[in-house]
Amino acid sequence: MNIELTEATWIEDVGEISLARLAELSGLEEVRLRELVDYGALTPVDPGATFWTFRAECVVTARTACRLFNDFELEPHGLALVLTLLERIRELQTELKRLHAELPS
């Protein structure tokens, strides 16, 4: 059987995406994404622009937000807080990993 080869693509290769596209890719409604922007968990490229665009990496955060919203039924402020803390944990884990890598085994 001939199996077609699929190229895995970098998420950030897409560049910038619109609010509507972010909603489509993440599964979160635009109104929820706007709330996350209001609470500081997502940042548009230019918050002052009439039509927001986002760096493509925001898809990862927005998809996490969608899962947490659906699975824990979180209200927007709580959701933004969880996302901020998860990002903080991710940064600390990255730093911890770097320190472990620097230690002789």
Partner 1 sequence: MKYKDYYSILGVDRKASADDIKRAYRKLARKYHPDVSKEPNAEEKFKEVAEAYETLKDPEKRAAFDQLGSFQPGQDFRPPPDWWKQFAEAQPGFEQHAFEDIDLADLFAGLTGRGGQRARGRSGVIPGQDYEVAVQITLEQAYHGAELDLDLSLPEYDESGMPRRVPRTLKVRIPRGAVDGQKLRLPGKGGKGVNGGRDGDVYLNIVLAPHPLFRVSGHDVYLDLPLAPWEAVLGTTVRMPTPGGPVDIKVPPNTAAGRQLRLGGRGLPKPHGAAGDLYAIAQIAVPATVTERERELMQQLAAASTFNPRQHFEEGT
Cβ-based neighbours of 58, under 8 Å, separated by 6 or more: 17, 22, 42, 43
CB 76 within 8 A of CB 39: yes
Cβ-based neighbours of 70, under 8 Å, separated by 6 or more: none
Q: Does 81 participate in binding partner 1 (rule CB under 8 A)?
A: no
Q: Does 76 participate in binding partner 1 (rule CB under 8 A)?
A: no
CB nearer to partner 1: give 50 or 102: 102
Q: Does 6 participate in binding partner 1 (rule CB under 8 A)?
A: yes
Binding positions for partner 1, rule: CB under 8 A? 3-13, 24-25, 27, 60, 63-64, 67-68, 71-72, 82, 86, 90, 94, 97-98, 100-102, 104-105
